[in-house]
Amino acid sequence: MRKCQILRGTRLLRCHTSSAVPVIALFLSALLLSLASAAQAAAVPVPLGTAEPFVVLAGAGITNTGPTTLNGDIGTFPTPSITGKATLTVNGSIHAADAVARIAKDDLREAYNTAAGEQPPEPIAGDLGGQKLTSGVYKSASSIGLTGTLTLDAQGDPNSVFVFQAGTTLTTASASRVLLVNGAQACNVYWQIGSSATLGTNSTFIGTILALQSITLTTGATVDGRVLARNGAVTLDTNVITKATCATGGGTTGGTDGGATGSATGATTGGTDGGTTGDTDGGTTGDTDGGTTGAATGGATAGTSTTGGGILPSTGSDAILTGAGVLGVLLTIGGAAMLAARRRREA
C-alpha cells in the first residue's frame, strides 16, 4: 500500500510503500505448522517385518483344542511347544523355536513398541460397543472392552489406519464383532495390548493383536488379522484365523461382518522343517496364495468405498508430500508478492 504526506513547512510530497512481507511470513508460518500437525496426527501402519506372514506367534507355546484353521504361518519362540496338532489345520509354515521364529519375535517386539508410541492418541474409556470410529489412534489407560458391535469407518479411504492402545487388557464379549465399512481394511487395524487379550465365544474380531503377554481365543472366535503374543502363550479353541492382506491395484474393499472364514485353498507347500530355504519359500507361497484367497473369500461385504476426497490425504507420507507441494506453491506466490512490494518501494 502506498502512503503519501506533505513535508512540514514545504510543498514537497513524501511517499512510501508499506511492506506485505510480515503478513505473508506470518501466513506461511501458520500454514507450515498446520500441515505439520495434520501429518503428525495421522495414524500410520505398523511395520511387522518378518512377523507379517504369521497369523499366530507366541513366546510360551501354542495350545489348541478342537478343529482350528489357521490361514497363515504359525510360530513360537523360545518355547517350542505346540499342542493339539491333531485337530489343527495350518495353511502355512510351522516354526517351533527355530531361527525364523526367533527373528519374527524380534520384529514383533519392535512392532509392539512402534504401535505403543503412535501419537497423538485420542482417549477412550469403557466399552467400545455401539461406537463408530474413523481412522486415528485411540488409547485407554487401562483396559479395552467390546460388547456388541464396533464399527470402523474409513470414509472412502482404503488406506485409513486404526490403532488401539490398551494399558492392560482387551476383552470381547460373546458374539461381539468389529465391522469395517466404507473401504476400511483389516490389514490397517492394530491392537497394542499392555497385558493379555481374550476374545469371547463366537466373537468376530478384526485386526492384528500385539499383546505383551498371552492371547486366548475361546470357542468359535474368528479373527481376520493376527494374534501375536510377545511373552506368553496363545490358546485356541475351534477357531478360524486368516491373515489380513491389503487390497492392491486400487480395488474397493467393503466391510467385513461375517468373520474370518477365508478359503483354505492355495495352501502353503513350503518346508516346515526349519530349513532356511524351505521356510522362506513356504512362507512366501502361503502368504501370497492362502492369505490372498482367504482375504478374498472371507466374510460378508458391507459398505462401499470411494476414492478419497478433500484437499489433503488423511494419512501417512501422502499427507506430507501433498502438504509440501501446497507449501511450495504458496512460497512461490509469497515470493512474487514480496518482489512486487520491493519494486513498489523503489518506484
162-189: per-residue pLDDT in tens?
999 999 999 999 999 999 999 999 999 9
**Bridge-partner residues for 170, per DSSP?**
144, 197
Low-confidence winner among 80-89, 192-201, 222-231, 257-266 (lowest mean pLDDT):
257-266
Look at residues 198, 253, 194, 247 and name the one whose alpha carbon lies nearest to residue 223. Answer: 198
45-87: per-residue pLDDT in tens?
999 999 999 999 999 999 999 999 999 999 999 999 999 999 9
Please tell me the predicted confidence (pLDDT) of residue 32.
46
117-128: per-residue pLDDT in tens?
999 999 998 899
6-43: per-residue pLDDT in tens?
656 666 656 655 555 444 545 445 444 444 444 445 79
Please tell me the predicted confidence (pLDDT) of residue 247.
85
- Residues of the chain with pLDDT > 90, as a percent, come to 58
Please tell me the predicted confidence (pLDDT) of residue 89.
98
